[in-house]
Structure 1
Amino acid sequence: MTNSPVRWALAGYGSGGRIFHAPLLAAAPGVELVAVVTADPGRRAQVAADMPGVRTVPDLTGLTPLGVEAVTITTPPATHTVLAHQALDLGFGVVVDKPFALDAAAAQELVDHGRRAQLMLTAYQNRRWDSDFLTLQKLIADGTLGTVHRFVSRIDRFRPVKPGWAGDPADGGGTLLDLGPHLIDQALHLFGPVTRLHAQVRAVRTGSGADDEIELHLEHAGGVFSTLAAGMAGAAEGPRFQLEGSLGGYLLHGFDVQEAQLKAGENPETLGAAWGVEDASAYGTLTTVRGSGRLPTERGRWDTFYPAAAAAVRGTGPVPVDPADAVRTASIVDAARVSAAEHRVVEFASR
């Protein structure tokens, strides 16, 4: 049993499940994708066309007879914790897509449930394995930039509001819960706890009912100041990352290649050594007292998430993302809401 692949299911087959999870699950060593949970006839037909042999079931209870051991929740955000709790009750290990929960209290409740059940529970923070983010980590670890004091991370997109859709924050809509968890998790992963925060959260697009532009300013306990920004009305795209230290700085434009590779129908199995490899034209610029030059970007490694999660299911390795990190991220989201609504700085108690 321990040498057989972990039997996995995917709950949800919208764009997230179809593009960002199914190809990585199908290509992951030690994982067998056996079922998709969806009651929608159109998506059931799509699963049959995309992945012959993969079963579809209407709800999580249908996974038990199939011998499923773990499930990825990639349904609409407001359903994430409801389904994750149900999956844990059924005895499945669980991967929860972002947002892990709509607020920190719900995130903590889910983490506590996972601990009581003694089952694998993790957050799908795949952007910890972005090519550019791995490059930042390497620059910090090897001391190239000296003492880091400033970090800027932004995602600019230009997407007019779709007719008939306004979005509702109560249902998990909005940029703060969509892109915010990625940006926040990356900043916390690099620089640790936050002592104070100021945020702007607003809707700027005509017809938008949820926030579509965010900017968070974080002061980390270690002294780094992070600026995190994202929006859906940013036609003039800014830099993705800027990192400044006592010995130099790093600036990068563009976006990690793995998303484009998946959207093109590729996966780690089909591309092999080319998976996650950035073209030289996408390299960032490293500037030190010795001058400036293009720095080759590290290889992106989204392909490592599911093998690590599978090992955690079997108890042979740690979870790829500690679910407690998702609680900390949700706490920052909660504080950003308060800061934006009350136009003030939010202080965090020292720990």
Structure 2
Amino acid sequence: MAASLNVALLGYGFVGKVFHAPLLSRTPGLILHTVVSRDAGKVHTDLPQVRVVADADEAFADPAIDLVVIATPNETHAPLAMAALMRGKHVVVDKPFTVTLEEAERVIAQARASGRLVSVFQNRRWDADFLTVRQLLGDGALGEIAEFHSHFDRYRPQVAQRWRESDVPGAGLWYDLGPHLVDQALQLFGTPLAVQADLARQRTGARATDYFHVQLRYPRARVHLHAGSLVAGNGLRFAVHGERGSYLKHGLDAQEERLRAGGMPGDAGWGRDPQPGQLILAGEDGTLIAQTVDSLPGDYRHYYSAMRAAIVDGMPLPIAPEEALSVMRLIEVGIRSADEHREIPFA
């Protein structure tokens, strides 16, 4: 394979350690060259061969670095991306791209001014279940869609002492899981006519949003995006209802669980979904017939493979800047809708 790219990973907390480092280490054509972390021992326990520096500026100044991946707290995304771009590096930012739409616009403008590429890491476009839903809708298996329900529920009754659950900019579930569900919905249905959002703090002692229910209104379809922190027994991931039938999927994509357990991308069975979905279609006589549907295989490395191809070969970015802007715009409109307790026009 032609030209390998040297990558600097900023941050070695949960996201950097569990997601980005394994994916970068197992994507052909990418070399995890440097990690920016104040805990070199933690990094070297997992990655003994990787250079560790304590300051992002040291990585930005290194001429050997081609691509910077930002996996730091959300409110640092925009300033770090701006600094890396100004030093001539290509940039990947973990979701959310930024904390505000205005920040997102400035980062994209800086990328254009610097002649460098910037993209947001939306790994869940490569979830097995989402790939399957996308194929079913693309094939027209369910006919025109009337309802689309996308859930990402958890049971975490205790408020953790971490920045994601603190009262700081960019914290809370709407910034954590919202960008995933919003991005998937925009990919499937395009720009909605309007947004109505309910954001709440439901757990005792919650300091940030830990629940959201958001409806995207289209001419016919209604798209419901939902995440809660006190859901012990649901397990629904997708429920899609159309003129010809329904598709139901329970259980989350298995890649995150395997990464948490120390698995590596490319291991045997990687990306396979152990819990098939159910397709319920109406026969010619109106009888409903249910069948099991195995999910397409998922692989988060496809994001980084496409990012490398964009930098080296001039191929399209895996997630274009305009797509990042659309997600941030909807995130902000959702906050406004919740604050004002009303539906907000979007299109």
Which range, TM-score by smaller chain?
over 0.9
In structure 2, do the counterparts of structure 1 residues 144 and 10 end up closer, same or farther at CA, with 3 Å as the change threshold? Answer: same
SS in 2 for 1:156: coil
Is contact 1:61–1:90 with CA below 8 Å preserved after alignment? no
Quote how far apart the aligned CAs of 1:170 are: 3.7
Q: Does 1:231 align with 2:228?
A: yes
Q: Is 1:278–2:273 an aligned residue pair?
A: yes
Q: Which is further off, 100-109 or 158-167? A: 158-167
Residue 135 (structure 1) shift: 0.1
8 Å Cα contact 2:3-2:312 kept in structure 1: no
Q: Find the residue that maps to 1:82 and give its secondary structure.
A: helix
Instruction: Identify which range, 131-140 or 43-52, moves more after superposition.
Output: 43-52
* Deviation of 1:153 (Å): 0.2
Q: How many residues in Structure 1 have an aligned counterpart in Structure 2?
A: 340
Aligned to 1:212: 210
State the AA in 2 paired with 1:52. Answer: P
| Corresponding position of 2:26 | 27
The answer to whether 1:59 aligns with 2:55 is: yes
Partner SS state of residue 193, structure 2: strand
- The offset of 1:120, in angstroms, is 1.4
Q: CA deviation at 1:114?
A: 1.2
Give 3-state SS (helix, strand or coil) of 1:199's partner.
strand
Aligned residue number for residue 157 of structure 1: 154
Mapped to 2, the partners of 1:228 and 1:6 lie a distance apart of: 37
- Is contact 2:159-2:206 (8 Å) kept? no
Cα deviation digits, residues 212-250 of structure 1 (max 9, x gap): 1000000135x3210001111222224110111111110
Alignment partner, residue 308 of structure 1: 306
SS in 1 for 2:91: strand
CA distance in 2, matches of 1:178, 1:97: 10
Q: TM-score, normalised by structure 2?
A: 0.94
Q: CA RMSD in A?
A: 1.6
User: 1:255 Cα deviation (Å)?
Assistant: 0.2
Match of 1:140 in 2: 137
Aligned partner of 1:86 in structure 2 is 83
What are the residue-to-residue correspondences of 1:173-212 with 2, within 5 Å?
173-212=171-210
Aligned to 2:286: none
Relative distance call for 1:146 and 1:95 in structure 2 (3 A) is same
Equivalent in the alignment of 1:44: 40
Query: 1:151 is aligned with what amino acid?
Result: F
Cα distance in 1 between the residues matched to 2:187 and 2:69:
22
**What is the rounded CA distance, in whole Å, between the counterparts of 2:341 and 2:137 in structure 1?**
33
Q: 1:162 & 1:170 partners in 2: Cα distance?
A: 15
Conserved in 1, the CA contact under 8 Å of 2:129 and 2:273? no
Structure 2 residues without counterparts, runs of 5 or longer: 284-288
Q: CA deviation at 1:12?
A: 0.3
| 1:3 and 2:6 matched | no
AA at the equivalent of 1:123 = V
Cα deviation, 1:66-110, whole Å, max 9, x if unaligned, reads: 600001100011101110111101111100001111121111111
Q: Secondary structure at the match of 1:314?
A: helix
CA contact (8 A) 1:157 1:237 kept: no
Contact 1:149 1:244 (C-alpha < 8 Å) held by counterparts? yes
The residue correspondences of 1:67-146 to structure 2 (distance < 5 A) are: 67-146=64-143
3-state DSSP of counterpart to 1:65: coil
Q: Aligned partners of 1:30, 1:220: CA distance in 2, in Å?
A: 41
Q: Distance in 1 between matches of 2:122 and 2:205?
A: 30
Label 1:163 to 1:324 Cα distance change in 2 as closer, same or farther (>3 A): closer
Runs of at least 5 residues in structure 1 that lack an aligned partner in the other structure: none
